[in-house]
Structure 1
Amino acid sequence: MSNRSSLQKSLSIGLTLGVTLLWLLGVTASGLVAQHEMNEVFDSALEETAQRILPLAVTDILNRENGPGNQIAPAMKDHDEYLTYLVRDQQGNLLLQSHDADPRVFGTLPREGFSNTSTHRIYGASAVSDTMFIEVAEPLAHRREAALEAGLALLMPLVFLIPISLLGVWWIVRLSLRKVVEFQQSIESRGAGDLTPVAEDRLPKEFEPIAKAVNLLLERLHRALEAERSFTANSAHELRTPLATALAKVQRLQARIQGDQLKTTVTEIEEALQSLSVLSGKLLELAKAEGGGALSQNQQDLVPILAMIVDDFQRQAPGRIILSLPESVVNSFLDPDAFAILMRNLIENALKHGSQTRPVEVSMADDGLLRVRNGSDVVPPDQLALLRNRFARVKTGASGSGLGLAIADAIATGAGMTLHLRSPATGRQDGFEAELNVVTAR
């Protein structure tokens, strides 16, 4: 299985992550700006509070009848104070404090302006010729809480925007790549024998050169295959005609001569010419099998072709073949001519090298599973592995070129099928079996 991800998936995830990252950076920057602005507002509130309370506190302290001792400002009702304050003199003696103020938060001596402790932000101001000081304190936790709430308020929309963005980006990318996906599916769904041009219309500009290059390649491949088929056909004609002529002349010469020794020599020449004729035919079949013409552009029903081929062999070897055909059609992209060559070689191999007293079984199932079985001695595994090679033969007394199974295997491989060779045959203790599934041709 390929581990490469699709362009649509990569773009959708990449764009969504990119937009999410930009949003997070934007939210972070906005949060920092908001925190800075809130600190300015809080500082202004501290300063404003001190300036408003200080005149009232000075008036209250100066008008006391019982002296300048510390007093706690009463609260109208119970509540939590975010801002607490102290009024002290130059020596740090308490003169007035809010009801929730903790003197330990403040320094030992009062001072003016802004200052920070580990827990509070403090602002100090003076009055009456720097004899009285007010300090207002605010917890830093309050500021952090406000900043956190503001940040969460900015982040919350992302919980909804990120899935919406993912769906939106995915939809836009899918819509943009729709023609590219159709182009991919049109190439993926066609069989290996379909060399018709692919559609170039309405493809994105970036993919048009790819479609044109594919069509040019298909055109060149089509011309090459046509040239190969033409060469094979012409070669077959040009080779077979002179061989047949020479064989006919030798046979006529054989009928005229009288001497036994000369007649034997002419017979040997006749047999050599016949063997050469068969070998040339096999080599041409092998060239066609390896030339890429094993598939057709349209599916064909192979059942009647198989029946016709077996019927031809029945005339040559009556009663030696048992045929079993399916009740339904078996459609395949396997080229009918290539199928005929494949079956002729498999059946011919079974008749020639199988037992003469046992029939050859040829069967095709509804699912396209094709078997050719014959009786014979068990072929050793080391020899069985070599039978797909050219001119490879098992030790036998039968004549042959050693090309039949090589041709069948070349056609099966060119059509995307797998030719299985077994010995002993399935369900037997001996015999030889060739099996393949013609429906898998692509």
Structure 2
Amino acid sequence: MRRASLSRRVALFTTLGLAAVWAGAVVLMAAVLWSEQDELFDQQLVETAHALLPLVSHMEMQGIAVEVPQPAVPMDEALLYRLVARDGRVLRQSELAGRAVLPDAADLFPGRVASAPGYRLYATPFNAAGQALQIAAPLAERREAFREGMTGFLLPMVALLPLTWLIVGWVSRRSLAPLRELGAEIAARDGSRLDMIDAGDWPEDLMQIASVVNGFIARLAQALEAERAFATNAAHELRTPVAIALAQTQQMRENATTPAQIARLDALERALQRMRRLVARLLQLARADAGIGDSTQAHDLAVLTRLVVAERAPSEAARLADELPPAPVMARIDPDAFAIVLSNLIDNALQHSPPGSPVRLRLRQGAVLEVANEGRAVAAADLAGLTRRFARHRGDGFGLGLHICQQIVSAAGGRLEIISPAPASQEGFVARVTLTPPVRDH
């Protein structure tokens, strides 16, 4: 599952915080709006009752049977009234008041606003004629007005939430851009690149982090430099003694007379040959870690390939099947570095292929070199780790050859691809090197 980025988390939690504040403000506003609206409607109810009382009382005293005119409205929107005497008798009421369920006239206190299911009521004080007007307004109208007011307020506010998310996201991405730059700078550092990180105009907090990281990089560079220096010095110091010991062993092998002596000297010679190869690999590793590979001039890979093949032992050269184009294949890479890469790929192919099987070298235009060998396929999960230092899959190798190739090819601006099984096959191994062709002038 992909983790959310820091800018996305900042935008999310900031927006959620604003949304929580917004929701609280909406609830508070709704309570205030309902209270103020209720107060306003009650005031209108009181004023209406006092305005109608003289009219209805006069009509009652004059015996006028006609009701106070009202517009034709539904039951839940009609304003109801009734004129009552001091003893609680209803003297006159609107037509719809008789169908509504209202409290008894005697239960309403004059001069007070009361509530009943579905209605808000008010009873005026008794006038000189001993009459009071009780008026009832349906709550449905108030609720409808409240809903319309809240809807008119909420719609634009809800529309602001996505806009807030976008604005906060943009601000957080802009604000955290230096942090992403720092992450990219740290990710770009590896064993071949340990230069200090330039904090530039980053915020002070990130400059402090960059300073701490630079301290780690400096100490790591010193440790790696000491390790490389030790490996290089040890390889240089061992090269001559190993060569002398190997020469003396071979001389002793020629003078040996018994099978036991011959067997022991053969074993010793194999051990010294392995040590010689290890010394050679360590020297190559030191050069690869130093960044050899890139070249300002282009060189013909076909010529270099022929030279490398010609230097192989006859038994090894007999197994090499090369496919080289007649035209030059130019690429920007140091000749010695290319020879190291090709030699290591050939050694790897010879070592991990069945005895006597061919190793195919193919060079084609575009500066692409392929070294293919037969043998069991390598599992996909193991392919990516083959270029790590001291990573061994099968055999008694040192786990340095492909790593050296990877370092040199990367320094030359190319790429090394490990393919297994071989294309259109169920087995085999292919190492493909793609280098940088020279830029053509137009």
TM-score (norm 1): 0.73
Partners in 2 of 1:309 and 1:270 — Cα distance?
Answer: 35
Q: Which of 281, 297, 301 is matched with 2:276 structurally?
A: 281
Indicate if the aligned counterparts of 1:236 and 1:281 stay in contact, CA closer than 8 A: no
* Structure 1 equivalent of residue 431 of structure 2: 436
Q: CA deviation at 1:274?
A: 5.0
CA spacing shift, 1:286–1:391, aligned 2, 3 Å: farther
Q: Which of 297, 307, 312 is matched with 2:308 structurally?
A: 312
Q: Deviations over 1:249-273 (max 9, x none)?
A: 6788999xxxx65799998898667
Indicate if the aligned counterparts of 1:115 and 1:123 stay in contact, CA closer than 8 A: yes
* Structure 2 equivalent of residue 213 of structure 1: 212
Residue identity in the other structure for 1:278: Q
* Structure 2 equivalent of residue 180 of structure 1: 179
Q: Is residue 58 from structure 1 mapped to residue 44 from structure 2 by the alignment?
A: no
Partners in 2 of 1:11 and 1:95 — Cα distance?
Answer: 70
Q: Deviations over 1:304-341 (max 9, x none)?
A: 56863552332445663333468866789xx9978755
Residues 40-439 of structure 1: matches in 2 within 5 Å? 40-62=39-61, 64=62, 66=63, 71-75=65-69, 82-98=78-94, 101-102=97-98, 104-110=100-106, 111-112=108-109, 113-128=112-127, 131-188=130-187, 193-246=192-245, 275-284=270-279, 296=291, 308=304, 311-317=307-313, 320=318, 321-324=320-323, 340-341=339-340, 343-348=342-347, 350=349, 359-364=358-363, 371-374=370-373, 393=395, 402-403=396-397, 406-409=399-402, 411=404, 419=418, 433-438=428-433
Partners in 2 of 1:157 and 1:33 — Cα distance?
Answer: 19
Q: Which runs of 5+ in 1 are unaligned?
A: 394-401
Q: Which runs of 5+ in 2 are unaligned?
A: 436-442
Q: Deviations over 1:345-370 (max 9, x none)?
A: 44235557878877531125678875
Partners in 1 of 2:68 and 2:302 — Cα distance?
Answer: 111
TM-score (norm 2): 0.73
Deviates more, 1:151-160 or 1:365-374: 365-374
Q: Percent identity?
A: 28
Q: Deviations over 1:59-116 (max 9, x none)?
A: 3333x2x5xxx83424276567653211022454433334654453433334222222
CA spacing shift, 1:288–1:86, aligned 2, 3 Å: farther
Indicate if the aligned counterparts of 2:126 and 2:132 stay in contact, CA closer than 8 A: yes
Partners in 2 of 1:128 and 1:240 — Cα distance?
Answer: 127
Partners in 2 of 1:325 and 1:312 — Cα distance?
Answer: 13
Partners in 1 of 2:329 and 2:42 — Cα distance?
Answer: 91
Q: CA deviation at 1:170?
A: 2.1
Partners in 1 of 2:146 and 2:60 — Cα distance?
Answer: 38
Residue identity in the other structure for 1:180: L
Partners in 1 of 2:351 and 2:31 — Cα distance?
Answer: 90
Indicate if the aligned counterparts of 1:324 and 1:362 stay in contact, CA closer than 8 A: yes
Q: CA deviation at 1:123?
A: 0.6
Please provide the CA RMSD for this pair.
4.7
Q: How many residues align?
A: 410
Residues 24-39 of structure 1: matches in 2 within 5 Å? 24-39=23-38
Partners in 2 of 1:315 and 1:177 — Cα distance?
Answer: 56
Residue identity in the other structure for 1:167: L
